[in-house]
Amino acid sequence: MMAVYKIIEVVGISKKSFADAANNAVKEAAKSVRGIRRAEVSKFDIKVENNKVVAYRAEVRISFELD
């Protein structure tokens, strides 16, 4: 039998880096989703205040197998 996967999109945020933001997205999703199989960063952006970068954001598509 073939597996069926669901894909959700989440946004991770970090004050350190894009990599940390992506990692935060996966860690938070793992708190409520079982069986994460793959994560794909679909977009990066930054938050700027007073001409300074204050946050890195990573939009991540997470896939997991349905029971």
- Tens-place pLDDT, residues 21-66: 999 999 999 999 999 999 999 999 999 999 999 999 999 999 999 8
Q: How many domains would you assign to the chain?
A: 1
CB count in 10 Å sphere of residue 67: 6
Print the domain residue range for 11: 5-65
Contacts of 3 (CB under 8 A, 6+ apart): 65, 66
pTM assigned to the model: 0.87
pLDDT > 80? residue 1: no
Q: Is the dihedral of CA 14, 50, 43, 6 positive or negative?
A: positive
Contact 6, 31 (CB under 8 A): no
Contact in structure between 7 and 65 (CB atoms under 8 Å): no
pLDDT score of 39: 96
Q: Is the pLDDT of residue 67 over 90?
A: no
CATH number for position 54 = 3.30.1660.10
